[in-house]
Structure formats: C-alpha cells, structure tokens
A and B are shown apart, each in its own frame.
Chain A
Amino acid sequence: MIGRPITRAKAVLLSVLSVLLLLAGYTWMSHRQHQVNPNDTTIPSWSQLAEGVKKFTQPDRKGERWVVEDSLATGERLAMGLALGIVFGFLIGMLMGCIAPVEAFLQPPISLLAKVPQTAALAVYFVFFGTGMEMYVAMISFGIIPALAVTVYLAVKEIPAEMLDKAYTLGASAFEVATEVVFKQVLPKFIDAVRLSIGPAIVFLIAAEMVVGDVGFGYRIRLQFKLSNMNVVYPYLALLAGFGFLLDYGFRMLQFKLCPWYQSHTK
C-alpha cells in the first residue's frame, strides 16, 4: 500500500542493510579489479584506502595535515558565503514582499539572475574579484541570493491579507507587522530554502576551488585525482557528504527550535 508506515525496528534494519550492501558491493568490485591488475588505484582496496587516509591525516613534508587545512579553508569560504547570502537573500526577499516599488524594481534582475548557472559564470567572478577569499564569498552568496530572495518574496506574498489587517487592528505599526507577523510566518520556509541552497553552494565552491584554489577540498580532490590517488579522493568525497549532512541537520534542528509550530502545522 502506498504510504503505509512500517515499524521503527524494520526501518532501522532496512537502513543498516542498505549500507552493508553498499560496502559489500564496493569490496567485491575492488577485489575483482585487483585480480585483473594488482596495482590498480581506481577502485582502491580497504588497505589502500587506509594508506590514503593516513596520507591526509598525518603531517606532510611541510608539517601540514591536509584534512585540517582543507577543512578550515573550505569551511571558512562556505561559512562566509552562506552567511552573507542568507542575510541578503532574506532582506531582499522581505523588502520585495513588503514594499511594492522595491518589488517592481528588483523582480526582473532577481528572476533573471536566478537562471544564470553559477559554475558557468565562474570566469566573471575571477575577473571581478580575483582568486582570493572575496571571490569565493561573492560567488557563493550571489549564487544563492536569487533563490533565497524569491522564496522569501513568494512566502510573504502568500500571507493572507486578513493576517496583516488583523495585526493593524491590534495596534501594530507597519514595522511591527513586518517583524511580528511577516517575519515569523516566513521564517520556517526560509530555513527550508537555506537547507536546499547548501547543495548548490558547495557545488559552486568546489568548482571554483578546482579551477583556482591552492588549498581546500576542490583543490585537493583535483590534484589527487591527477596523481590517480583515488584512495584520497573517495574519503574526501565521503567527508564532503558528511559535512553537507551535518550542516543540513543543523538547520533542521534550528527550524525545530525556532518554529515548533511548523512541524505540527505541516503534519
């Protein structure tokens, strides 16, 4: 039956099973590959993988641990880009939703910008912002602002007029309607949109790091791939996935904390 729930125990069992199958499948593929070519590095065996992990967790000749310096660099770029994009995406969406002239003024450029593929526009960012921190931050924030702003703008427009009128009859000023009604009504949808924008933000960042980076996940993956060190590339991909998952989980918790009404509302 479609949508019929299963018990918690069954759900856990099935999840564990899928992970085990994945691991077993990998082991088998790697084993077969090494029977053909014992020196293969495209599908490294578990011991080769352990070597790779050791390579990026131990200090290299310059005394740097790759995973630490890469995480710090990529994390900082992502955090700054996301933070700026979140603040401006939200503000622009609120202003567009609440103030008609701003809406008329910003709607064309925002909807157009939302359609430009950020990875294709990389060159533009290199030209305008160089290859330093500013470039990463600009690229990530410009990349997510249109989508975030449009989400907030549409969510504001969706608020029934009655809710706004009601607030005025309770003695609210226009500013209070914005902060006490519109903001609170829009917040959970905005957090959902931020969660969805994390994926694209990481894509933009890694792409840029692959092209011009001298440290960071994108840089390391490209370099190690060129050296055929897939035993570093695969763990790095897993780390990236875990990174994205944690970030997403954090925002979900934040939504749960800030908007307890939203869960019971959507149920």
Chain B
Amino acid sequence: MTLADPDNFGLQCQGVSHWFGENKVLFDLNLEVQAGQFVGLVGPSGCGKSTLLRAILGTHPPLKGRILTMQNGRLANADRPGRDRGIVYQKYSLYPFLTALDNVALGLKLDQTTTAFRWLNWTGWAKKRREFRDRAGAFLEKVGLGQAMHLYPSQMSGGMQQRVAIAQALIMEPEIILLDEPFGALDEATREELQEMLLRLYEENAEVKAAGGKPPYTLIIVTHELNEAIRVGDRLVGLSQYWDWKADGHERSPGATVVYDKAVPVFRPDERPEYALFDDIRREIRKYVYNPEVLQQRDKHINVGPTR
C-alpha cells in the first residue's frame, strides 16, 4: 500500500522549514503518516514540536515547504485550520463557559450551522441544538463521562477535562488528530487510563482495517514521556536540532528535523507493557535525539517510511 492511495493517506510534510526571525526552528522536515498510524513524537524541549503541530493544524503554516492532508475527501494544502484536523492541548482545550456536553457539541454547532441560521431561525436552531446535544451526550457516554455531562470544566478533574477534550476533537471525525503533551499535567494513574482510551481507538482501527475499511483514527501524540510514546504509538518519531548539519554544508544549525523514525511494538488497551524491555529504544532516543554531543547523519536512524 502506498500513500498515493487515498484510503491510506494520513499526512505528508514536504520540506517543511520554519523560523522566527533569527531563531531557526524547523529545517527541511519530511514526514509521511499513513491513515490509522499512531505516531509518538518526541524531541528536546523547544525543538519545535508544537510549531510543527501548529503548522499541520494550519493556524500557523510553515514559511517553507508543503503540508498535505485529506480535506473533504481530497488531498489539499493544510494552510488553514479546518474540521479535518483536530487538536488537544495540555491546557485550554475546553471552553470554561460551556458544560462538558456543550463543549463536545460546539464543533457540530460551528461546523454545521451558520450565525445567520442560529440568530434568525430560532425554531430550526432549537431543533438542531437538541440533535447536536443528543449526539454529544451519546459520545460522552461512550467515553465513560455520562455523569459529567453538565459539569463545567472548572468542576472536573484534570483527567476528566482531557477526556472531554479528546471527545470534543473526535466528534468531528477528523482525518488526523494532534495531541500536544495532552497528559503532561496528570498523575501517573490517570495518564495510564487515558492512554488506554487512546489504545481502544487503535483497536477500533484494527477492526475496521480487518473488515477492509479505512481506519478512522490517525494520531500524532507529542509527549516528553518516552514510555508513553512507546505505549500509545506504533511508530516513534524523534525531532531534533542535534544532527550533523556541518556535513550538509551549513555554517550554523538550520533547525530541527526528523532524526529518528522507527516502528515500536503495539499494545492492547488492557496490557501493561513491560517497560524494562524498551531500554534499548530509550537509550537510542536519548543518544540520537536528546544528546547535543551526538551528531549523526539525519537519515541514519530512519527505518520506517510509510511507503516501505
């Protein structure tokens, strides 16, 4: 299967570079993601992971290069945000003035009705709103938040908030969902529960794929916990400014790029991985991605192309 097959296409970054004045952040970044893949994205703090996600999201397109995603069933440039790419932040994903239910229903409302419709056609809007709320409610039930529907974010625990935030993004059925350190503020036990929630989506993918359909969930999760990236992802991508750019003819660092890209084991949601077994993966990552002293050719540790 190749990326050219629309049923397999998740994301393609072609030669993406980005900088803020003198601060070179991303350099010639190439990344292809197949539909259904769960990518764990790691890298030193400040290397540009959030910048990359914002570029894919389309709120801050890259200064150079192209990012292609599926939009309304067609391949298109991701130069503006849309409902086909969802995001979950560590904070501020939920609107404090909306209940869990209305936070989840918000996307349906914004995407499927216009301001003019809501302001002028009151009865039509009331009917639509009931329908959206019903759908959002059913969705929340599904992710185990039936009890919390009418709570405001400030009344929910951090774990519940992130669960609602994931539901808020998922109900739009995005082609790809981006998570930027989503569980960074949670305690270990809650983290694991939420990882399980993501792994259940991966399982759903497998079922759909087995039945010959296009897997519904494609995901990139940025995290600073290597174990989390290994557990949730089926693929581990390292972004780093520490690579041998001198050999490529640069006088000073041109920015971070993909320096590590390998498949990692897949886990069932109820499976507690034996993290000790991944010592070698972690050691590799620490050495080639995180260590400023170790500068290797940038394609030396790239073992998965999606088009392999």
Contacts and interface: CB of A to CB of B under 8 A. Distances in A.
A38 interface: no
Interface in B86-137: 86-87, 89, 91-93, 95-98, 106-107, 110-112, 115
Contacts of B169: 169
A171 B93 contact: no
A166 B92 contact: yes
Nearest to A184: B97
Contacts of A193: none
Interface stretch (A93-101, A147-155, A175-183): A175-183
A172 B83 CA distance: 9
Given A165-B59, A166-B92, A167-B110, A175 B115 contact: yes
B106 to A, nearest CB: 6
A261 interface: yes
A184 B110 CA distance: 15
Contacts of B154: 261, 264-265, 267
A175 B106 CA distance: 15
A169 B82 contact: yes
A91 interface: no
B81 A169 contact: yes
A184 B168 CA distance: 18
B191 interface: no
A185 interface: yes
B35 to A, nearest CB: 19
B82 to A, nearest CB: 7
Given A160-B91, A163-B92, A265-B152, A169 B86 contact: yes
Contact of A171 (B89, B96, B97, B111): B111
B152 A181 contact: no
B149 to A, nearest CB: 14
A170 B92 contact: no
Contact of A170 (B54, B89, B106, B115): B106
A162 B92 contact: yes
B89 A169 contact: no
Given A179-B115, A261-B96, A265-B154, A169 B85 contact: yes
Given A167-B110, A176-B115, A180-B110, A162 B82 contact: no
Nearest to B86: A169
B236 interface: no
Nearest to B112: A171
B206 interface: no
A163 B107 CA distance: 13
Contacts of A171: 82-83, 107, 110-112, 172
Interface size class of A (residues with CB under 8 A): 20 to 34
Size category, B interface: 20 to 34
A170 B59 contact: no
Contacts of B168: 170
Nearest to B90: A162
A14 B255 CA distance: 67
A53 interface: no
Nearest to A175: B115
Interface in A238-267: 259-262, 264-265, 267
B293 to A, nearest CB: 34
A168 interface: yes
Contacts of B172: 170-171
A169 B88 CA distance: 11
Contact of A165 (B57, B96, B111, B155): B57
Contact of A169 (B87, B95, B96, B112): B87
Interface string B47-84: 00000001001010000000000000000000011110
Given A166-B87, A168-B59, A171-B83, 19 more contacts: A162-B91, A162-B92, A165-B81, A165-B87, A166-B89, A167-B110, A168-B80, A169-B81, A169-B87, A171-B110, A173-B115, A176-B110, A179-B115, A184-B97, A184-B98, A187-B97, A261-B98, A264-B155, A265-B152
29 contacts: A160-B92, A162-B89, A162-B93, A163-B92, A163-B95, A165-B57, A165-B87, A166-B87, A166-B92, A166-B93, A169-B81, A169-B85, A169-B86, A170-B83, A171-B111, A171-B172, A175-B115, A176-B110, A176-B115, A179-B115, A185-B97, A187-B97, A259-B97, A261-B98, A261-B154, A262-B97, A264-B152, A264-B154, A265-B96
Q: Which 10 A-B pairs have the closest CB atoms?
A: A171-B111, A170-B107, A168-B81, A162-B92, A165-B59, A160-B92, A261-B152, A172-B110, A171-B110, A171-B83
Interface of B: 54, 57, 59, 80-83, 85-87, 89, 91-93, 95-98, 106-107, 110-112, 115, 152, 154-155, 168-169, 172
